[in-house]
Amino acid sequence: AQRVTQPEKLLSVFKGAPVELKCNYSYSGSPELFWYVQYSRQRLQLLLRHISRESIKGFTADLNKGETSFHLKKPFAQEEDSAMYYCALSGRFSGSRLTFGEGTQLTVNP
Amino acid sequence: GAVVSQHPSRVICKSGTSVKIECRSLDFQATTMFWYRQFPKQSLMLMATSNEGSKATYEQGVEKDKFLINHASLTLSTLTVTSAHPEDSSFYICSASGSGDGYTFGSGTRLTVV
């Protein structure tokens, strides 16, 4: 079974502070991990995926297979980062189902 | 980038009627499409997975006779909520894979059954 856990439903930080959104997973095999962001009244958008190793909008995430984690980090949060963030997991084969975590609502205060 | 169009964005229907939601991949062939349901302040729950030309695979607890999914072409999948009841009111989201960018999501459909 595949499962994604985001332990924090709400996270509040001040502008300029570092932010880390936690994500742990369970999967029997080699998963593909994603972070999606949903801004208010907008559709779900891909923020980053572990295989691309990109940094988008200053966010990075490293896959830690030993700890089965894929935490999302940003060194200096901005007010426009306030949104709902979802960690998600799929298998690596085409058409594999995508399983979401419960989501973390990030609020960046001025 | 890849685009998925979902229509309608909002629909209100009377209890007992059926509602059809369309999901189209605009610039790529979607080999697989997924339908999710999202309750307020909750995560996306996968309802079913559909591959073009074959029957959809439903998640446990999802009534296949109530939520009819058709994936007749590589660019179109439809979800029909049959004999809708107020408890079916929710936000329905489709997603498509096949673009090479992973999964692309539609903008969602807010269904209200009165």
Higher pLDDT, B41 or B83: B83
Per-residue pLDDT, B53:
80
Quickly count: other Cβ atoms within 10 Å of residue A66's Cβ. Answer: 5
In chain B, % of residues over pLDDT 70? 100
All residues at 6 or more sequence positions from A23 whose CB lies less than 8 Å from its CB, including other chains = A4, A5, A6, A33, A35, A61, A69, A70, A71, A72, A87, A101
Per-residue pLDDT, A1:
78
Per-residue pLDDT, A67:
92
Cβ pair B46:A97 closer than 8 A: yes
Per-residue pLDDT, A54:
76
Pairing state of beta strands B109-113 and B103-105?
unpaired
The mean of the pLDDT values for chain A is 92
Higher pLDDT, A98 or B41: A98
- How big is the A-B interface in CB pairs under 8 Å? 47
Q: A42 CA to chain B: closest CA distance, Å?
A: 7
Answer whether A33's CB lies under 8 Å from A21's CB.
no
Answer whether A46's CB lies under 8 Å from A38's CB.
no
Give the model's confidence band at A2: pLDDT under 50 very low, under 70 low, under 90 confident, else very high: confident
User: Which candidate in B105, B107, B109, B110 is best for mutational testing of the A interface (most A CBs within 10 A)?
Assistant: B105
Q: In this complex, is the C-beta atom of B49 within 8 Å of any C-beta atom belonging to chain A? A: yes
Give the model's confidence band at A19: pLDDT under 50 very low, under 70 low, under 90 confident, else very high: very high
User: What are the backbone dihedrals phi and psi of residue B54, each rounded to the nearest 5 degrees, phi first?
Assistant: -130, 170
Report d(CA A102, CA A67) in Å as an integer.
19
Cβ pair B97:A49 closer than 8 A: no
Q: Is B96 helix (H, G, I), strand (E, B) or coil?
A: strand
AA identity, residue B90: S
Chain B's closest residue to A6, CA to CA, is B43
Q: pLDDT, tens digit, for every residue of A40-76? A: 878 888 899 888 777 788 999 989 989 999 999 999 9
Q: pLDDT, tens digit, for every residue of B42-72? A: 889 999 999 888 889 999 999 999 999 998 8
- State the DSSP string of chain A: --EEE---SEEEEETTS-EEE--EEE-SS--EEEEEEE-TTS--EEEEETTTT--BTTBEE--BTTTTB--EEESS--GGG-EEEEEEEE-SSTTPPPEE---EEEEEE-
Averaged pLDDT for residues A75-86: 96
